[in-house]
A and B are shown apart, each in its own frame.
Chain A
């Protein structure tokens, strides 16, 4: 099938402003959703659901959150994992302390907690830019985790500081099996991704990008920097918070505050850089890449040279190749995998007449 938009004329602005203006993209999206919702639960085994798809979706959502902040609003943050922690612990406490609260409401409230904390730690962005801001967000990373460890109230005074996710039951449906967890995660992620897509293609997103590209000019055309930046921090943290709650409830079950460490924040940042800064889809491509690449290397290594070299060396070689591949991808396409996909599409649109 040809990827062409010839013959697809937009008769109205409404048509021109659809979420997927090109018909092939629409069809592709519907097919993908059909596959993810209707086919995957039946063909995927537990391994794929629980160790691959669920984490990729959750990390994709967290990466999307960071992408809103960094990719669209241009504010570099190294504290995403901490905002995930706020979401997870927030949701846990709402579930714990409010009897009979529906899970989705707790999830929303948990996300809102993360958003509030996000605004607080976003305040420096009004005066600090670039790497200074990035390092300042580390304050959030370390401080939040410290608070969650230090004050037992957050983990309901569990001796080991961990929280154990309650069972999720929505309208009588039990989300215990991997398939159900996958479907719930997928639903939340898809809905939130579409909402994000809508935000970035409307005035909200334009304001973010304006602040990102040239803040002085943005201010001069009447965009309020403070409000826009804090809004980006809030929404970004909300997304991270929801991702964190899903991480606890749909993925791991029991989580400790230290699980949301700096390493995780870096991984999320990696996802958007590799996937594509300022791209919704890139967030998910990046998440898939960063979650799966080490696994792929691990499997590939142990099946090939694993038998011939000491295990220590094999693990180090994995790390070396992981690092080298990241460098390689950034050199080949500094704008991320999403850009590669976009370029391919552009070529396809013009093919076979490239000019």
Chain B
């Protein structure tokens, strides 16, 4: 694969995270370069989701630092991460169940909306123009992900696969430069997985979005990712291009070995 990557946009250095006495992550370092698809793999409980949560500020690591776009930080709130262009999806779908697909995706654009509640209350002029402008963007995303027919459906009524797609749409609506995907294909059938793969690659391709994803399906990971981090029991045991990782004996031992 001869793909060109830019600079390191996020660099994680010696991250350690504990919950009470339980160590979730221990001394983990890796980086993500602009425009790449970076996968995090590892067995259940390896700390993959915790890693994503550290990246976008849901969890605050006790040790280590994160350099994002050249700026060092140790602690950041999730909304700050969002305002700096980090968007994500969740392992267990975290859509807003009581809202329609359209409204869910519209929430993705809230950071770009400049009007306040008083404008909204009057829904006139500025607020309306803004709403329409963002609606156009959202419709582009809807079209991109081919979910036009369900725009007005409450998300609670959708099947699992579509919900995952709506969640991706919500993340995309924010026009992120770093997209974190937590098991985007879990529980999908082959066809749905193929669709999802296509969307991920298209996003990466068309919008130039950097993607960090967690995935269990090794075939998918090896196919689409540029570099892979392997975690086991909260520790990093491998890092590199898919082919390299695949042949790393430590990785095979800990993870791949068991699945073959």
Instruction: How many A-B residue pairs have C-beta atoms within 8 angstroms? Tell me.
Output: 113
Give chain A interface residues in 202-234, CB to chain B under 8 Å.
202-207, 209-210, 212-214, 216-225, 231
Q: B170: which A residues are within 8 A, CB to CB?
A: 221
Pair B94/A214 contact, Cβ less than 8 Å: yes
Pair B107/A210 contact, Cβ less than 8 Å: yes
Secondary structure call for the A interface: helix
In the bound complex, CA of A199 to CA of B124 (Å): 11
Select the stretch in B111-119, B240-248, B250-258 that faces chain A.
B111-119
- If A14-B132, A17-B132, A214-B94 touch, whether A222 touches B82 (CB-CB below 8 Å) is yes
- Which of A's residues lie within 8 Å of B, judged by CB? 12-14, 16-17, 19, 195-196, 198-199, 201-207, 209-210, 212-214, 216-225, 231, 235, 278
- If A203-B106, A203-B110, A221-B108 touch, whether A209 touches B120 (CB-CB below 8 Å) is no
Select the stretch in B17-25, B83-91, B198-206, B219-227 that faces chain A.
B83-91
- If A13-B135, A14-B128, A17-B135 touch, whether A222 touches B117 (CB-CB below 8 Å) is no
Q: Out of B94, B98, B113, B123, name the residue touching A278 (CB < 8 Å).
A: B98
Who on chain B is nearest to A209 by CB? B99
In the bound complex, CA of A218 to CA of B127 (Å): 21
Pair B107/A223 contact, Cβ less than 8 Å: yes
Pair B87/A221 contact, Cβ less than 8 Å: yes
Asked if B190 lies at the interface with its beta carbon under 8 angstroms from chain A, I say no
Max count, chain B CB within 10 A of own CB: residue among A13, A209, A222: A222
- If A202-B120, A203-B120 touch, whether A221 touches B110 (CB-CB below 8 Å) is yes
How many Å from the CB of A18 to the closest CB on chain B? 10
- Which of B's residues lie within 8 Å of A, judged by CB? 56, 58, 77-79, 81-83, 87-88, 90, 94-99, 103, 106-108, 110-111, 113, 115-117, 120-123, 127-128, 131-132, 135-136, 139, 170-171, 174
Q: Out of A199, A218, A220, name the residue touching B121 (CB < 8 Å).
A: A199
In the bound complex, CA of A240 to CA of B170 (Å): 34
Top-4 shortest CB links A-B: A222-B82, A217-B94, A213-B96, A202-B120
In the bound complex, CA of A290 to CA of B258 (Å): 63
Q: B110: which A residues are within 8 A, CB to CB?
A: 203, 206-207, 221-223
In the bound complex, CA of A198 to CA of B81 (Å): 29
Pair A213/B99 contact, Cβ less than 8 Å: yes
In the bound complex, CA of A235 to CA of B94 (Å): 27
- If A198-B123, A203-B131 touch, whether A219 touches B77 (CB-CB below 8 Å) is yes
How many Å from the CB of A217 to the closest CB on chain B? 4
Given A204-B116, A210-B99, A222-B110, 19 new contacts (CB under 8 A): A17-B132, A198-B123, A202-B127, A205-B120, A206-B110, A209-B98, A210-B107, A212-B96, A213-B98, A214-B95, A220-B56, A220-B81, A220-B87, A221-B87, A221-B111, A221-B170, A222-B78, A223-B79, A225-B79
Who on chain B is nearest to A19 by CB? B123
Secondary structure call for the B interface: helix
Pair B131/A214 contact, Cβ less than 8 Å: no
Q: A217: which B residues are within 8 A, CB to CB?
A: 90, 94-96
Q: A202: which B residues are within 8 A, CB to CB?
A: 120, 123, 127, 131
Q: B78: which A residues are within 8 A, CB to CB?
A: 216, 219-220, 222
- If A207-B107, A209-B98 touch, whether A219 touches B128 (CB-CB below 8 Å) is no
Q: Out of B79, B127, B135, name the residue touching A222 (CB < 8 Å).
A: B79
- If A13-B132, A219-B77 touch, whether A206 touches B123 (CB-CB below 8 Å) is no
How many Å from the CB of B255 to the closest CB on chain A? 28
How many Å from the CB of B220 to the closest CB on chain A? 24
Q: B83: which A residues are within 8 A, CB to CB?
A: 222
Who on chain A is nearest to B94 by CB? A217
Q: A220: which B residues are within 8 A, CB to CB?
A: 56, 58, 78-79, 81-82, 87-88, 94
In the bound complex, CA of A248 to CA of B216 (Å): 63
Q: Out of A16, A198, A213, A222, name the residue touching B120 (CB < 8 Å).
A: A198
Pair B99/A206 contact, Cβ less than 8 Å: yes
Q: B95: which A residues are within 8 A, CB to CB?
A: 213-214, 217
- If A202-B120, A203-B110, A216-B94 touch, whether A13 touches B136 (CB-CB below 8 Å) is yes
Pair A218/B135 contact, Cβ less than 8 Å: no
Q: A12: which B residues are within 8 A, CB to CB?
A: 132
Q: B136: which A residues are within 8 A, CB to CB?
A: 13
- If A14-B132, A222-B82, A222-B111 touch, whether A235 touches B117 (CB-CB below 8 Å) is yes
Q: B113: which A residues are within 8 A, CB to CB?
A: 203
In the bound complex, CA of A217 to CA of B136 (Å): 23
Pair B115/A203 contact, Cβ less than 8 Å: yes
Max count, chain B CB within 10 A of own CB: residue among A16, A203, A214, A221: A221
How many Å from the CB of A234 to the closest CB on chain B? 9
Q: B81: which A residues are within 8 A, CB to CB?
A: 220
Query: Can you report 6 residue pairs joining A to B where beta carbons are below 8 Å apart?
Result: A198-B122, A213-B97, A220-B78, A220-B94, A221-B174, A223-B110
Pair A204/B120 contact, Cβ less than 8 Å: yes
Q: Out of B79, B82, B122, name the residue touching A195 (CB < 8 Å).
A: B122
